[in-house]
Amino acid sequence: MIITRMSATSGPESAPAGLVVACHGRHLRLRIAGGAEVAARPARRALEVVCGDEVEVRHDAQHDEWHVIGVRPRRTALYRSDARGAGELVAANVGLLLVVLAARPRSDPFIADRYLAAAASEHIDACVVANKRDLDADAELDAALAGLQLAGYRVLDCSARTGAGLDALRAAIGTRTAMLVGESGVGKSSLTRVLVPHSEVEVGELARDRGGRHTTTAVRLYDLPGGGRLLDAPGVRDFAPAIDRLDAATLGFVEVARLAGGCRFADCRHLAEPGCAVRAASESGAMDPRRYESYRRLRRLHAGLTARQGERRRS
Summarised one tens digit per residue, pLDDT across range 51-80 is: 999 999 999 998 899 999 999 999 999 999
> 129 with 156: CB under 8 angstroms?
yes
Q: At what angle do helices 166-173 and 188-195 cross, to 10 degrees?
A: 80
Q: Strands 219-223, 229-232: parallel, antiparallel or unpaired by DSSP?
A: antiparallel
d(CA 1, CA 95): 10
Instruction: Give the E-state strand segments of 107-173 in sequence order.
Output: 125-130, 155-157
For 183, 297, 302, the CA distances from 141, given in Å and listed in that order, are: 14, 19, 26
The rounded distance, in Å, linking the Cα atoms of 261 and 266 is: 8
Find the length of the chain.
Answer: 315
User: What is the per-residue pLDDT for 8?
Assistant: 43
Tens-place pLDDT, residues 76-124: 999 998 877 788 999 999 999 999 999 998 899 999 999 999 999 999 9
- On whether the CB atoms of residues 99 and 181 are closer than 8 A, the answer is yes
CB atoms within 10 A of CB 32: 17
CATH of domain 254-314: 1.10.40.50
Other residues' Cβ atoms within 10 Å of the Cβ of residue 46: 7
pLDDT in tens, 213-237: 333 457 899 999 988 999 998 889 9
pLDDT tens digits, 127-176: 999 999 999 889 999 999 999 999 999 999 999 999 999 999 999 999 99
What 3-state class would DSSP assign to 183? strand
159 residue type, one letter: S
- How confident is the prediction for the chain on average, in pLDDT? 88
The widest CA-to-CA distance across the chain, in whole angstroms, is 69
Domains 17-71 and 254-314 belong to one CATH topology? no
Q: Long-range pairs for 56-65 at CB < 8 Å and ≥24 separation? A: 56/10, 56/11, 56/12, 56/15, 56/16, 56/17, 56/18, 57/15, 57/16, 57/17, 57/18, 57/30, 57/32, 58/11, 58/15, 58/16, 59/16, 65/40, 65/41
For the chain, domain boundaries: 17-71, 77-82+90-232, 254-314
Task: State residue 15's pLDDT score.
Answer: 63
Q: Say yes or no to pLDDT of 208 above 60.
A: no
Contact between 78 and 122 (Cβ < 8 Å)? yes
- Confidence grade of residue 200 (pLDDT, cut at 50, 70, 90): low
**pLDDT value, residue 217:** 53
Does the bond joining 109 to the residue before it have cis omega, within 30 degrees of 0?
no
Provide the pLDDT confidence category of residue 309 given band limits of 50, 70 and 90.
Answer: confident
Give pLDDT, residue 80.
Answer: 94
DSSP letter assigned to residue 107: P
Neighbouring-strand partners of residue 232: 180, 220
- Answer positive or negative: Cα dihedral of 145, 146, 149, 150: negative
CA proximity to 279, closest of 291, 267, 8: 291
Q: Specify the fold of 17-71.
A: OB fold (Dihydrolipoamide Acetyltransferase, E2P) (2.40.50)
Percent residues over pLDDT 70 in the chain: 89
> What does CATH list as the number for 77-82+90-232?
3.40.50.300
Spacing of C-alpha 66 from chain mean position: 27
* Claim: this prediction has a pTM higher than 0.85: yes
Q: What is the CA radius of gyration of the chain?
A: 21
Lowest mean pLDDT among 15-19, 221-225, 284-288: 15-19
